[in-house]
A and B are shown apart, each in its own frame.
Chain A
Amino acid sequence: MAVTDSDKASAHVKPKERFDFFHDERVRSVFYQLLTACTVGWLAWYLITNTAHNLEIRGMNTGFGFLTATAGFDTDFKLIEYEPGIGTYGRIFLIGCLNTLLVSSFAIVASTFLGFFVGVLRLSNNWLVARLALAFVEIIRNTPLLLQIIFWYVGVFALLPRVKNSVDLSGGAEVLFINNRGLYMAWPVPGDLFWMTTTAFVATVVGVFLLRRWAHKRQDETGQQFPIFSASVALLILVPGAVYLVTGSPLEWDLPTLQGFNFRGGFSLPPAFLALLVSLTIYHAAHLAESVRAGILSVNKGQTEAALAIGLKPGRAMALIIIPQAMRAIVPPLISLWMNCVKNSSLAIAIGYSDIVALFMQTALNQAGYAVEMVGMTMAFYMFISLSISGLLNIYNKRVQLVER
C-alpha cells in the first residue's frame, strides 16, 4: 500500500530541472538576440555618427525645411500647376509621385490585358499562333528592360516625323496627333451642367448593380435567366447619353492646333512617356503571359470535362468554371507583377521622363543636396506603394482561401 502510494506520488512529481546557465535554451536565445541587437545598434550608431560628421564637414544642410523652399528648375511634364521660381520642392516631389503613378497605372492596365491575351494565345490549339506567342514571350523576357526602353525611345519615338509633318491618328478629324515631340490629343472641358451627366452615370452604375442582384436572385428562385450584360451596357450608354443631350451637350473639346513651331491646346504626352508606357506594357505582358498560361494549365482537366458534361458551352465553361479557378493561381504573380511595374517605371530616368527618381532623386538632389532626406523620401514612396499593393494581395488571398476546402 505504502509502496504504491509513493510510486503514484513520484509519477506526479516532475524531475527537478537542472538549470545549466550556459546550455539553457532560453538563456541562449536571449543572449543571441541581445548580441544581434547590439551589433545592429552599434552599426547604425556608427553609420549615423559618420554621416552626421561628414555632413558637418561638407557644410551640407539637413532637415526637411527644403520642402517649402522654392525650386528653380522646370519640368517638361507635370499634371499639376508648377512654375519654376514659385513652386516648392514639396510640389516637385508631388509631381514626381504623380508622374510615376500615371505611367505605371497605365502600363499596369495595358499589360494586364495584353498579358492575358498573349497567355491565352500561348495555349491556342493553332500551332503557329502558339509558337508566335512563345517567340514574343521569350524574346521580351530574355532582353533587359532598360535596353528595350532605350530602343523604343531612340529607335521608334525619336524617329517620328517632325511637328510640321505630324501624323493625324484620328484620320482627318484633327483630334489626335503624333510627332517626335509627343502625342497631342483633344481634351474635354466640362461645361456648367456637366455635373448632371456625371450624376446620371453614377446613378446608372448603382442601378446596374442592383439589377444584377435582382437578376441573380430571380435566377436562383425560378431558373429564368435575364440578359444582364446587354441590359447593363444599354443602360450605361443610354441614360447618361440622354441626360447629356437633354442638358444641351455641356462639354467642350479643347483641340490641339498647330501654332508656330508647336501644338497648343489639348493634352499632350511626351515621347519619353510613350516609350516608357509601350516598353513597360510589353515587358510585363510577356511575364504575365507565362503566369496566365501556368494558371490555366493548373486547373484540372476534369473540370473542363465536367463543365461540358453538364451542358455548358465551351465559352461559358471557360468563363464560369476554368477562369475563376485559374485566377487563384494567377492573381499572386499578377499582383507582384504590378509591384514590379511600379518599380520598373523608375527606369524612366534613362530617357528623361520626369518620374520621381529622375525629378526628385536626381535633379532636385543635385540642385539642393539634401541627400539623406531625398533618398529616404523616394524610397518611402516606393515602400508605401509596394506595401499597399501587397496588402491588396493579402486580402485577396484570404478571400480565396475561404473558398478553398
Chain B
Amino acid sequence: MAAVVKSERTAARSAPLSETTVLGWLRKNLFSSWINALLTIVSIYIIYAAVKGFYVWGVADAVWVAKDRRECFDISIDGACWAGVIQWMNNFIYGRYPRGELWRVNLGALMLVLWMAPLWVPRVKDKILIGMSTVFLYPFLAGYFFAGGEKGIFMQVMVTLGIVFLVGNTLNVIIGVSSGRGLREVMIQKLGKQDASDESQRNTILAIFVGALVVVFVLQMWWTFEAVSWTKWGGMFLTLVISGIGIAAALPLGIFLALGRRSKLPVIRVLCTAFIEIFRSVPLITVLFMATTMFPLFMPEGVPLNKLTQVIIAVCLFSGCYMAETVRAGLQAIPNGQYEAAHTIGLGYWGTMGLIVMPQALKHMIPNIVGSFIGLLKDTTLVSIIGLFDVLGMLRSVSQDIPWRGLHKEPLLFGAMLFFIVCFAMSKYSRHLEVKLSAGDNR
C-alpha cells in the first residue's frame, strides 16, 4: 500500500487579518461584538463632545489678550478668558514676591537643578554625598537666597558650606562627564601628588577644602540680600518650598520612625507606633489647624513662630509619618537572611541597618518616594485654606482682583493642567524607575 504523502509543500497561509491590516485591528479591538461596537460608538461620541466642547470654549472662542474681564466679554461672550490667566502668570509662579528680586528665586531653582542633575548622570561619582548635601545644605543656601536679610553666624557658615559644595559639585560633574574621574583624583594629579601617601593626599584635599571655605566665608560677608518677608512668598514657588522641605525632612524622620516601629524595645516601639498612627488617622487639614492654633501655645513666652514655619513643621511631621510606612514596607521586603548574614560578619544594629538593610530597602523604595512626593505636592494645596497664598491660593484670588472679578474657571483649569503635567510626568518617571530598578531582581 502506497503511503499517502503530499508531493509538494503546502503553501504558507497569510497572517490573520487582525494582525496585519488596520481594518483587522479595528475589528478585533473595537467591533468584536455588537456590544463592543456600541461601546465604541458611545466612546467616540464622548471623546468628540469633550474635545469639541473644550476646543470651542477654550481655543476657538477664547480671548487671549484683554485688559479686563469686561473686555473679554465684549470680544466673546461664551469663550474662555485666558487673558486673565496670562496677566496673572507671574503671580501664579512667584506669588507677591518683589518683582525686582525674582532672579533670586530663579537662581535658587537653577541651583537645585545644578545640585541634583548629577544624580542622573551615570559617570559621576560620590552620588550619596550629593544626595546628602541636597537634603542638608541646599535648603539653607536656597533659604537665604529666598528670605535674604542679615545673616546670623549659623546662616553664614551654612551659606559658605553650601556655596563651596555647589562649586565643588559642579566641577565634579564637569570633570566626571568629560573624563570619568572624580574631582579629587584630578586635583591630586594637578598638584603632582598622585605618588604621595594616602595621608598626605587627604591632607591636601582637606587644605584645599578649608582654604575654599575661608575664601568664600570672607567673600560672603560682603554681600547681603534685601530681606523678603515670608508673607510675600507665594504661588508655585511657595508650594514647591513647602513640599520640598516636607519631603526632604520626611525621609530621615520616616526612616527613624520606621526603625522605631520595628524595634525590639517595647517603649520605643509603642511610642513610634502611636506617633505614626495618630498622624495617619487624622486629615492633614486638622494637623494644619493644630499647627496654627496650638503651636503658638507650645512655644515658650517671647518666642514667636510665624505661620509659614508652623505649616512647614506640620507638613514635615505629617509626611514623615506617611514616609515611615513606606520605609517600613521597604524594610519588610528585605529577607531575613540579610540580617542574619550581617550579624554573622559581626555588624551591630546600626551597622546592619546602615550598611546592609537600608541601602537595599531604599533602592526598592525610590518609586514609592516619588509617589509620596506627588501626593505631598497635591496635598500642599491645603495650605491655601489656612491663609497662605500657595499656587491654589493665587489661582483663587484672581476672581477677587477687580479687573478680573468672577473669573473662576479659567485659572482653576490652568492650575489643574499645571499639576497634571508635573504629577503625570513624575508618576510616569516613577513607574519607569520601578521597572528599571527591579530589572536586576527578575533575572
> Which stretch, B67-75, B143-151, B223-231, B417-425, touches the partner chain A?
B417-425
CA of A382 to CA of B281, assembled, Å = 7
Contact of A375 among B293, B395, B424 (CB under 8 A): B293
A54 touching B392 by the CB < 8 A rule? no
Q: B132: CB under 8 A from chain A? A: no
CA of A166 to CA of B296, assembled, Å = 48
B298 touching A32 by the CB < 8 A rule? no
Q: Which of B378-411 contact A (CB under 8 A)?
A: 378-379, 381-382, 384-385, 392, 395-396, 399, 408-409
Contact of A57 among B282, B301, B396, B409 (CB under 8 A): B301
A129 touching B412 by the CB < 8 A rule? no
Q: B192: CB under 8 A from chain A? A: no
A383 touching B29 by the CB < 8 A rule? no
> Which stretch, A72-80, A250-258, A304-312, A341-349, touches the partner chain B?
A341-349
CA of A34 to CA of B266, assembled, Å = 11
Q: Taking A29-B264, A142-B423 as contacts, is the C-beta distance between A350 and B385 under 8 angstroms?
A: yes
B423 touching A146 by the CB < 8 A rule? no
CA of A37 to CA of B286, assembled, Å = 27
Considering only CB atoms, which chain A residue lies closest to B38 in the complex?
Answer: A126
B40 touching A128 by the CB < 8 A rule? yes
Q: A243: CB under 8 A from chain B? A: no
> Which stretch, B42-50, B99-107, B155-163, touches the partner chain A?
B42-50
A365 touching B419 by the CB < 8 A rule? no
Considering only CB atoms, which chain B residue lies closest to A346 in the complex?
Answer: B283
Q: A139: CB under 8 A from chain B? A: yes
B281 touching A383 by the CB < 8 A rule? yes
Q: In the complex, what residues of A have CB within 8 A of residue B43's CB? A: 126, 128-129, 132
Q: Which of A238-279 contact B (CB under 8 A)?
A: none
Q: In the complex, what residues of A have CB within 8 A of residue B299's CB? A: 50, 54
Q: In the complex, what residues of A have CB within 8 A of residue B409's CB? A: 151, 154-155
Contact of B46 among A36, A125, A132, A382 (CB under 8 A): A132
CA of A147 to CA of B294, assembled, Å = 27
A51 touching B297 by the CB < 8 A rule? yes
Q: A124: CB under 8 A from chain B? A: yes
A150 touching B412 by the CB < 8 A rule? yes
Q: In the complex, what residues of B have CB within 8 A of residue A357's CB? A: 283, 285-286, 289
A347 touching B423 by the CB < 8 A rule? no
B419 touching A33 by the CB < 8 A rule? no
CA of A383 to CA of B281, assembled, Å = 5
Q: Taking A29-B264, A126-B39, A383-B278 as contacts, is the C-beta distance between A47 and B412 under 8 angstroms?
A: no
Q: In the complex, what residues of B have CB within 8 A of residue A146's CB? A: 381-382, 384-385, 392
B434 nearest CB across to chain A (Å): 13
Q: Which of B13-56 contact A (CB under 8 A)?
A: 29-30, 32, 36, 39-40, 43-44, 46-47
Q: B265: CB under 8 A from chain A? A: yes
Q: Taking A144-B378, A155-B408 as contacts, is the C-beta distance between A54 and B281 under 8 angstroms?
A: no
Most buried by A among B278, B297, B382, B427: B297
A128 touching B289 by the CB < 8 A rule? no
Q: Taking A50-B298, A55-B297, A132-B47 as contacts, is the C-beta distance between A32 and B268 under 8 angstroms?
A: yes
Q: B335: CB under 8 A from chain A? A: no
Q: Which of A354-398 contact B (CB under 8 A)?
A: 357, 361-362, 365, 371-372, 375, 378-379, 382-383, 386-387
Q: In the complex, what residues of A have CB within 8 A of residue B176's CB? A: none
B379 touching A127 by the CB < 8 A rule? no
B293 touching A371 by the CB < 8 A rule? yes
Q: In the complex, what residues of A have CB within 8 A of residue B47's CB? A: 128, 132
Most buried by A among B44, B280, B427: B280
Q: A218: CB under 8 A from chain B? A: no
Q: In the complex, what residues of A have CB within 8 A of residue B122's CB? A: none
CA of A150 to CA of B39, assembled, Å = 32
Q: In the complex, what residues of A have CB within 8 A of residue B214's CB? A: none
B19 nearest CB across to chain A (Å): 15
Q: In the complex, what residues of A have CB within 8 A of residue B412's CB? A: 147, 150-151, 154-155
Q: In the complex, what residues of A have CB within 8 A of residue B286's CB? A: 346, 357, 361, 375, 378-379, 382
A37 touching B285 by the CB < 8 A rule? no
Q: A170: CB under 8 A from chain B? A: no
Q: In the complex, what residues of A have CB within 8 A of residue B296's CB? A: 54
B46 touching A33 by the CB < 8 A rule? no
Q: B415: CB under 8 A from chain A? A: yes
Q: Taking A143-B378, A346-B285, A346-B286 as contacts, is the C-beta distance between A372 and B265 under 8 angstroms?
A: no
Q: In the complex, what residues of A have CB within 8 A of residue B271's CB? A: 36-37, 40
Q: A327: CB under 8 A from chain B? A: no
Q: In the complex, what residues of B have CB within 8 A of residue A40's CB? A: 271
B289-311 vs A, Cβ < 8 Å mask (1 yes, 0 no):
11001101111110000000000
CA of A143 to CA of B47, assembled, Å = 20
B381 nearest CB across to chain A (Å): 4
CA of A98 to CA of B265, assembled, Å = 41
Q: Taking A344-B283, A357-B286, A371-B294 as contacts, is the C-beta distance between A143 and B267 under 8 angstroms?
A: no
Q: B121: CB under 8 A from chain A? A: no
Contact of B283 among A55, A343, A350, A387 (CB under 8 A): A343
Considering only CB atoms, which chain B residue lies closest to A154 in the complex?
Answer: B408
Q: In the complex, what residues of B have CB within 8 A of residue A138's CB? A: 424
A36 touching B267 by the CB < 8 A rule? yes
Contact of A124 among B39, B384, B413 (CB under 8 A): B39
B107 nearest CB across to chain A (Å): 28
B131 nearest CB across to chain A (Å): 26
Q: A145: CB under 8 A from chain B? A: yes
A127 touching B29 by the CB < 8 A rule? yes
Considering only CB atoms, which chain B residue lies closest to A132 in the complex?
Answer: B43
Contact of A386 among B281, B290, B294, B300 (CB under 8 A): B281
CA of A378 to CA of B44, assembled, Å = 47
CA of A132 to CA of B47, assembled, Å = 8
* 15 other A-B residue contacts (CB within 8 Å) besides A126-B40, A146-B381, A147-B412: A29-B265, A34-B267, A54-B297, A124-B39, A126-B29, A142-B420, A143-B423, A145-B378, A146-B384, A147-B419, A155-B408, A339-B281, A365-B293, A382-B286, A386-B281
* 29 residue pairs from A and B, CB less than 8 Å apart: A29-B264, A29-B265, A33-B266, A33-B267, A50-B297, A50-B299, A55-B297, A125-B29, A125-B36, A127-B29, A128-B44, A129-B43, A142-B423, A143-B419, A144-B379, A144-B381, A146-B384, A146-B392, A147-B416, A151-B409, A155-B409, A155-B412, A346-B283, A357-B289, A361-B286, A365-B293, A379-B282, A383-B281, A386-B280
- The interface of chain A, by Cβ under 8 A from chain B, is 29, 32-34, 36-37, 40, 47, 50-51, 53-55, 57, 124-129, 132, 138-139, 141-148, 150-151, 154-155, 158, 339, 343-344, 346-347, 349-350, 357, 361-362, 365, 371-372, 375, 378-379, 382-383, 386-387
**Would you list the 4 A-B pairs with minimal beta carbon distance, nearest first?**
A386-B281, A127-B29, A33-B267, A142-B423
